[in-house]
Each structure stands twice: as C-alpha cells, then as structure tokens.
Amino acid sequence: MTAIHLSISLTTLYSIYFATPMPDKPFQIACDNCSLANLCMPMGLSQAEIQRFDHFIQREKIFHKGDTIFRQGDPFHTIAVVRSGALKLYQLDEEGELTGLQFALAGEIVGLDGIKDEQYHLSAIAIETTAICQITYQDLLHLAQEIPSLQKSLFSLFSQQLNHHYHVNLNATAEQRFAKFLLSISARVARRGYSATQFNLSMSRQDIACYLGLATETVSRLFKRFSDENILAVKKREIKIHDLRQLQIISCGHSHP
C-alpha cells in the first residue's frame, strides 16, 4: 500500500473542510458539551447559567508529565479542574520532607486549599499529559453570588472533597490500604463512564507508596501477591481487576479467613 504524505497546516485543513476561516478556539470543549459537567462546578446549573459560567473559564493550558501547575506557597488566585490526565498534589514541611500526597484525576478540582490563606498549601504537578480548566477565585465568588445553584454546587463539591479525605485509614494494614486505593481509583474512573475493572495507573509505584504511607517494595509485593491470587492482572501500569468483590472484602480486613 502506498502512503501519501500531505504537508498541510491545521488552519488550512480547517478552512478547506468547514469552508470558513478557523476561529481562535476551534475544537474547544465548552462546559455545556463537556462530559464532566455533571461532576464539575456547573453541576445543577441551567443551560443559560452554564453558558454564563463558561465565559469565565480558561482552557488554554496543556501540561506535560512533570510540569508544575502551582507550587506550595504561591499566591492563590485560581481554582482548577482536571479535564483529562492526572495530577499529583504534595506537601513538604519546613525541612523539605514530604508530609502528604494525593492524586487528582479527570473531573476533580484542585486549589481549594488555597482560599483560606490566599496561598496554595500543596504543589501540583502533572503525572501525564493533562488538560485543565481554570477560573479565578474572584470570578467564582462573583458568579456564586449571582447564581444560587452555583453556590450550592460549590458547597457540595467542598463537602465531597472533605469526605474523600476521610478515606485514608491509619489503622488499616498495608493490604487493606492498597485494596482501598485500587477501589478508589476504580470508582473514580468509573464515575466518568470508563471501565471500573480496566485502567492504567498514571502514578509511579513510589507515588502510590507515599500516598498509602508504605515502602515502594511493599507496594511491589502487594501487586505481586494480588496478581498471584488472581485478584488482578498487572502489566507495568496497566491494571485489570478480575475480582472487585474480593478487593472489597480485603479492604475491610477480611482477607484470609
């Protein structure tokens, strides 16, 4: 088969195809056609309100693996939502020791921690290619004042974020924590309509270990153990869960009866 290589710019292609010059933001997703809208700030808003809200959203930024979104201590101005990809959020103490680590997946909001002291308390970096939507806190406050249902969904999102933090259990064993982690990722991926049993982890073993308060070796051994017990299949960072029920049982601490 012979391949024909065309050298043609996107702008030209666009204008040929649509018979009109390419606008500034040609293929951009707006809130009212975003698949995450029901998980995100505009949830519960009317069509008109969503369009009004959308007007204040910045979507230019694409971050690559390792890029910084904001740093702990930076002055706080904007709230961000992960549109696609994933972020790692972490906190260092005065000595530079890591004191906390979380992940933000598509549809999840980051930066709310900055409101109180007008500075971010966490650093955020992309752990894969990541698109984010941003809104300034000033705009958000004004909009929430004018749109009661936005105010309500913001409170709701805050509440959800609080609940999410209750899930790390200090008393759980390594096995329980790890099972709970996999279930959490599964649920978060599934919430956006993807498979709950097949996904790839964008975070390193080391990040998982830090998040769970374990050593990387322990995480590695748990992957092996669960794989040996046929609970899941793992190939690099590609995970296929075979027995979701068993994971649930393990996460509650009834692993080996």
Residues of this chain that interact with DNA (CB under 7 A) are 173-175, 204-206, 209, 213-221, 223-224, 234, 236-237
Binding to a copy of itself in span 133-162, by CB under 8 A: 141, 144-145, 148, 151-152, 154-162
Of the pair 164, 224, the CB lying nearest a copy of itself is at 164
Among 21, 93, 235, 257, binds a copy of itself (CB under 8 A): 93
For the chain, the 3-state helix, strand and coil shares in percent, each to the nearest 5, are 40, 20, 40
Q: Are strands 198-200 and 232-235 parallel, antiparallel or unpaired?
A: unpaired
How many residues would you count in the chain?
A: 257
Assign 45 to helix, strand or coil.
Answer: coil
Contact predicate 46/87, CB 8 Å: no
- Residues with Cβ within 8 Å of 3's Cβ and at least 6 positions away in sequence, in order, are none
Among 7, 20, 165, 245, binds a copy of itself (CB under 8 A): 165
Q: Shortest gap between Cβ of 208 and DNA (angstroms)?
A: 8
Among 37, 40, 50, 122, binds a copy of itself (CB under 8 A): 122
| 46 lines the binding site for a copy of itself (CB under 8 A) | no
List the one residue out of 167, 158, 218, 209 whose CA is nearest residue 188: 167
Q: Interacting stretch for a copy of itself, rule CB under 8 A, among 9-17, 61-69, 170-178, 188-196?
A: 170-178
Instruction: Give me the phi and psi of 246, to 5 degrees please.
Output: -60, -40
Of the pair 70, 226, the CB lying nearest DNA is at 226
Q: Shortest gap between Cβ of 180 and DNA (angstroms)?
A: 12
Of the pair 58, 173, the CB lying nearest DNA is at 173
Q: Token pair of 3, please?
A: 């391949």
Q: Shortest gap between Cβ of 126 and DNA (angstroms)?
A: 14
Among 163, 228, 236, 245, binds a copy of itself (CB under 8 A): 163
Measure Cα distances from 154 to 32, 36, 78, 95, 151 in Å. Answer: 17, 15, 14, 34, 5
Among 19, 94, 236, 256, binds a copy of itself (CB under 8 A): 94
Of the pair 119, 204, the CB lying nearest DNA is at 204
What secondary structure does DSSP assign to 120-173, as a single string? -SSEEEESS-EEEEEEEHHHHHHHHHH-HHHHHHHHHHHHHHHHHHTT--TTS-
Binding stretches for a copy of itself (CB under 8 A) = 91, 93-95, 97-100, 112-116, 121-122, 141, 144-145, 148, 151-152, 154-163, 165-172, 210-213, 252-254
